[in-house]
Amino acid sequence: MPPIDVSHLAAQTMDDSELQREILKLFDVQLEQALSELGALDEDGIRRLAHKLKGSARSVGAFPLADCAERLMELPTSAVVMEDLKAEAATTRDFLVTLIA
C-alpha cells in the first residue's frame, strides 16, 4: 500500500489537482509540527496529538500513517509504536514531496 491513497485524495478534492497540492502542503506542515511536539508531551498529550494526526492522515488518504497514529493513541508510552509512527511519517513525507512538486 502506498503511503497516500491518491485515488482517495482525488475523490475528496473532486480531482482538483491544485486543491490536492494545497491540502498536502498543509498536511505536511501539520505533520512536521506534530513530530516536533511529540517528545515534549505527556501521555495524554500524545494521545490527543495522535488522535488529531489520525484524523488528518485519513482525510488525505495517508492510511498507513493513520493506523500508526491509532496504535499510538492506544499505547502512548510505547517506544516501539512511537518509532513506527516516526518511520511511517518519514515515508509519508518523502512521498508527499513527489505529489506536491
In a domain, 29, yes or no: yes
In a domain, 22, yes or no: yes
**What one-character DSSP code corresponds to residue 17?**
H
φ and ψ of 39, to 5 deg: -65, -20
pLDDT over 90 at 101, yes or no: no
CB 53 within 8 A of CB 34: yes
CATH code of residue 15: 1.20.120
In a domain, 41, yes or no: yes
Range of the domain at 61: 6-100
pLDDT over 90 at 14, yes or no: yes
What is the band of 21 on the pLDDT scale with cuts at 50, 70, 90?
Answer: very high
In a domain, 81, yes or no: yes
Per-residue pLDDT tens for 32-74?
A: 999 999 989 999 999 999 999 999 999 999 999 999 999 999 9
User: pTM for the complete prediction?
Assistant: 0.95
Residue 80 grid coordinates: 516501539
In a domain, 1, yes or no: no
Tally of domains in the chain: 1
CA–CA distance, 1 with 4 (Å, rounded to integer): 8
Residue 36 grid coordinates: 516536533
The percentage of residues in the chain with a pLDDT greater than 70, rounded to a whole number, is 100
